[in-house]
Amino acid sequence: ETSEGWRLGWQADDVALLTGLYVLAARANQLGVSQPCVVTDMAGERHTLTFAEFEALMLAYGAARAAASAGGDT
């Protein structure tokens, strides 16, 4: 769950989509393209984030997945 109270998908296809979006957003950011990142949560609500916000979200998401994996969650 994000600090704003919405949840991201946890399945492999969710991870793949979020990772792909991050890679594309990071490349756009490197090229100086200021494009908002739109992420859809598990409830189907769309959230528009800056690259900095999305990067922070992905770091927290990765940490949460790592912690869950260490605890035996999948």
CB-based contacts of 10: which residues, under 8 Å, 6+ apart? Answer: 65, 68
pTM over 0.75: yes
Map out the domains of the chain as residue ranges: 12-63
The confidence score (pLDDT) of residue 16 equals 94
Alpha helices in 12-50 (DSSP H): 12-30
Residues in the chain predicted with pLDDT less than 50, given as ranges, are none
Per-residue pLDDT, 73: 61
Share of the chain above pLDDT 90, in %: 70
Q: Copy the structure tokens of residue 23.
A: 């890679």
H or E element in which residue 62 lies: helix 51-70
pLDDT of the residue at 70: 85
